[in-house]
Homo-oligomer: A and B are copies of this chain.
């Protein structure tokens, strides 16, 4: 299997060295190279769709049209093309934008060649999303940042009851919840009864709906 790749970078030096490095393995065919997002779009449109690259190694900071814009524009147009963003810095604002735009991976340029090759395979064959660890760290921070404020319920449901409710939402049965919290299933049922009363519901489904709607989970 030969992977059909395009490279987009404004520095010709980068294009050449990157293409040489990944070409070396013989598993990669460089379909074409572009110097910025606009150039990339133009070349893509000018070529028959069956010759399109499967994956694009996309630099982010480029004149005329940056890599994120390019991915955003292309992503809906041709949904069979994958994108790995390449960047020098681990800039979290751009990470988020790139993900929104439709990027499938996000690597630092300093990564070893075999890491990049593996990343290409991961994306094309396994639908994975390879990220450099330092970038993944940003992603995790963003993720854990997008969190909840469970204040308004705290007044009604006790801490323990919230824990129980979370178990219910996870789809666990009484036994499983009990095991997770090191208490008896009987206790779990008592809690759940109390929760139902406080929430004015009378089944798991209703409680779960309420929990999800109010983002207590």
Which A positions have Cβ atoms within 8 angstroms of B?
63-66, 69, 93, 96, 99-100, 103-105, 119, 122-123, 126-134, 136-137, 139-140, 142-144, 146-147, 149, 168-171, 179-180, 182, 201, 203-206, 208-209, 212
- The answer to whether B99 and A205 touch across the interface, beta carbons within 8 angstroms, is no
Determine which of B104, B129, B136, B203 lies in contact with A171 in the assembled complex, contact meaning CB atoms within 8 Å: B203
Residues of B within 8 A of A130 (CB): 133, 136
CB within 8 Å for A63 and B133 given contacts A205-B208, A212-B212: no
- The answer to whether B123 and A133 touch across the interface, beta carbons within 8 angstroms, is yes
CB distance from A7 to the nearest CB of B (A): 20
CB distance from A87 to the nearest CB of B (A): 15
Q: In the complex, A128 Cα to B108 Cα: how many Å? A: 12
Question: Which of A63, A122, A169, A171 counts the most chain B CB atoms within 10 A?
Answer: A171
Determine which of B122, B133, B171, B201 lies in contact with A122 in the assembled complex, contact meaning CB atoms within 8 Å: B133
